Structure 1
Amino acid sequence: MAMYCQVFYIYLWGLISKKTNMTITTIIFLIVIGLLAGILSGIVGIGGGLIMIPMLILFLGLSQHSAQGTSLAVMLPPIGILAAMNYYKAGFVEWKFALIIAATFIIGGYFGSKFAVSVSAAVLQKIFGVVLLVAAIKMIFGK
């Protein structure tokens, strides 16, 4: 599975590398963002987007829209599969819940992205900030 992911991303890199000029600094930032998002997602089960999106905006200057689109592109199935396999092996996956959520997540993701691309970056950034704040408060002060 890991080999499949590597081949997939090498193929994608071949498609996009001809169209973009990235500095070594940008590449290093992207590697650090990916590692941090992956490690924290694996440890605490949060979506990598909670980590990636702010870092893409603050350190690489992406717009809110571009950061969210990039984050979603990263979350292609091969990434989640590897992390989920470890939880499954340890007996921590509720498959019925996961399948129902996954099916509705596809629909919600479609309509959510349609809405997101139709609003201004400022509005989108405020919505994202509120979601982060509510999640943080709930995690810190919740049961």
Structure 2
Amino acid sequence: MDLTTILLLLAIGLLAGVLSGSVGVGGGVIMVPLAVYFLGYSQHQAQGISLAVLAVPVTFVAAYTYHNSGHTLDWRYALIIALSFVVGGYFGSKLAVNINQQLMKKIFGFILIIVAVKMIFFSKAKGVS
């Protein structure tokens, strides 16, 4: 691994971490596209690396910061989502590894567009009228 690659990996990690901590995105939204376009990974490899990073509770400190800053988190909800994420991730990965890379990129991009449109035009926070 050369110095340029190490610096690129550090930049991707820092960018994903800053965006994850500040606006809640990082893994799929940041790491996957950057790994595809700057590291030359296939869509499957990029998704795998993003999931591998999340295998360690890398964002726990950021979540704890939100909690301590008065944005109380329901840790029970987080635990339930995390456990079901493990199960969903297993079945999703079983499905994804059998999908053609070009189709996978299109599915990934389409999901990002749908989420972006929903967040921009139809977003409503829980408990806010």
Q: Which runs of 5+ in 1 are unaligned?
A: 1-21
**Separation (CA, whole Å) in 1 of partners of 2:94 and 2:113:** 23
Match of 1:36 in 2: 15
CA distance in 2, matches of 1:124, 1:48: 16
SS state at 2:105 partner? helix
Q: Larger helix proportion, structure 1 or 2?
A: 1
Q: TM-score, normalised by structure 2?
A: 0.87
Report how far residue 142 of structure 1 moved.
1.9
* CA displacement, residues 28-80 of structure 1 (integer Å, 9 cap, x when unaligned): 11111100000000001124221010011111110000000001111123302
Residue of structure 2 equivalent to 1:117: 97
Amino acid in structure 2 at the alignment position of 1:49: G
Where do 4+ consecutive residues of structure 1 move more than 4 Å? none
Bigger relative contact order (CA 8 A; separation at least 6): 1
Q: Give the share of equivalent positions with the same residue, in percent.
A: 54
> Which residue is equivalent to 2:30?
51
Extract unaligned runs of 5+ from structure 2: 124-129
Matches of 1:131 and 1:49, distance apart in 2? 11
Contact 1:49 1:71 in 2 (8 A): yes
Aligned to 1:106: 86
What is the RMSD of the two structures over their aligned residues, measured on CA atoms?
Answer: 1.3
Give the whole-Å Cα distance in 1 for the aligned partners of 2:121 and 2:16: 23
User: TM-score, normalised to structure 1's length?
Assistant: 0.79
